[in-house]
Amino acid sequence: VSCGIVCVKSRDGQRIDLRGVYGLDTAILATGFSMSIDDKSITAAVVRTGRPWVVEDMAAEPAAKRGLAARLGVASAFWVPMIVQDEAVGCMALGEKGARRSFGTEEVRLAQVLANSAASAVRTALLDEAVEVSHAYWQRTFDTISDPILVIDKSGRVLRANAAVASRLNTTTFSLLGEECERVVSGLDRNLISRVISSGCAQYLGRMEIGGHSCHIRACPLACPRGETAAVVVHAVPAAAERKLAA
């Protein structure tokens, strides 16, 4: 084959996006070409059904006439689903530009093997992308909280810190990761963290300082999915803010 197209199903499964081309004008990638999973195209049908489709004459195939491959000048092509764990995560379309040709059973079978191998990598990439998006959303939400918030592990080291903590210490949230809690919150130490974890209950730990700013420190144990307390969430309420509320 002289050219090819790779399309991948979106994370929500509602669309199919063009992700790669071979032997064709790569400018098409910049257009953000995408179609609905319910589109009447061959690409969408292959992803929905998980079955290959062979077209020896694109001009004579109604389902292919308006498709991307035909618009890019492909004369003959075949589509194979990219399957991993019994799910089609996308498809590969391989073909010839210019003159039409036939595709043998063995050729299609080999392409299917390659497509399935690629599917595992695609699934991993999609999962990594989803995790990255979720993490970014969580961090943005975390950073919108105006009060300083920290997540501290059993050893007394910082697992997470929001922007409010970093701004009071004139640093970045990244630089706080792994820091000993007493270096971040003056007066907070590992023994207090252990006490909260052992009690399994939220506690008021007293008045302490973050970067010279006086705060009332409240701590709450954070359980992991297995039910074991893995860390403590520390909420620092600025003393000045409490005075304003009291007034």
The pLDDT tens digits for 7-37 are 999 888 899 998 888 888 777 777 778 899 9
**What's the CA angle centered on 16, arms 75 and 122, to 5 degrees?**
100
For residues 239 and 247, the answer to whether their CB atoms sit within 8 Å is no
Q: Both 151 and 74 in a single domain?
A: no
* Percent above pLDDT 90 for the chain: 43
- The stretch 154-178 carries a mean pLDDT of 91
135 in any annotated domain: no
In the listed set 130, 153, 180, which residue is the last one of a domain according to the structure? 130
Domain check: are 125 and 220 in the same one? Answer: no
Domain end (from 130, 157, 179): 130
Instruction: Count the domains in the chain.
Output: 2
Q: Are residues 194 and 233 in the same domain?
A: yes
* 74-111 residue pLDDT tens: 889 999 999 988 999 999 999 998 888 899 898 999 89
Position 29 in a domain: yes
Are 169 and 147 within one domain?
yes
- Tell which of 75, 103, 130 closes a domain: 130
Residues 31 and 88 in one domain: yes
Considering the domain architecture, whether residues 86 and 156 belong to the same structural domain is answered as: no
Question: Quick check: is 136 in a domain?
Answer: no
**Domain CATH number, residue 199:** 3.30.450.20
Whether 75 is covered by a domain: the verdict is yes
Question: What pLDDT is stored for residue 160 in this prediction?
Answer: 87
Range of the domain at 46: 3-130
104-128 pLDDT, tens per residue? 898 999 899 888 888 877 777 666 6
Could you give the CA distance from residue 14 to residue 4 in angstroms, rounded to a whole number? 23
Strand ranges across the sheet with 87-97: 34-36, 15-22, 3-9, 87-97, 74-84, 53-55
- Label residues 160-179 b or e (16+ Cβ within 10 Å = b): bbbbbbbbbbeeebeebeeb
The CATH number assigned to the domain holding 108 equals 3.30.450.40
7 and 78 co-located in one domain: yes
Same domain, 15 and 121: yes
Residues 101 and 190 in one domain: no
**Which of 231, 223, 149, 148 lies closest to 193, judged by CA?**
231
Q: Over the stretch 34-65, which tens digit does the pLDDT of each residue have?
A: 899 999 899 999 999 999 999 999 888 888 86
For residues 61 and 150, state if they share a domain. Answer: no
Mean pLDDT of 195-216: 92
Pick from 107, 76, 51: which is nearest to 67 by CA? Answer: 76
For residues 63 and 189, which has the higher predicted lDDT (pLDDT)?
A: 189
| 74 belongs to a structural domain | yes
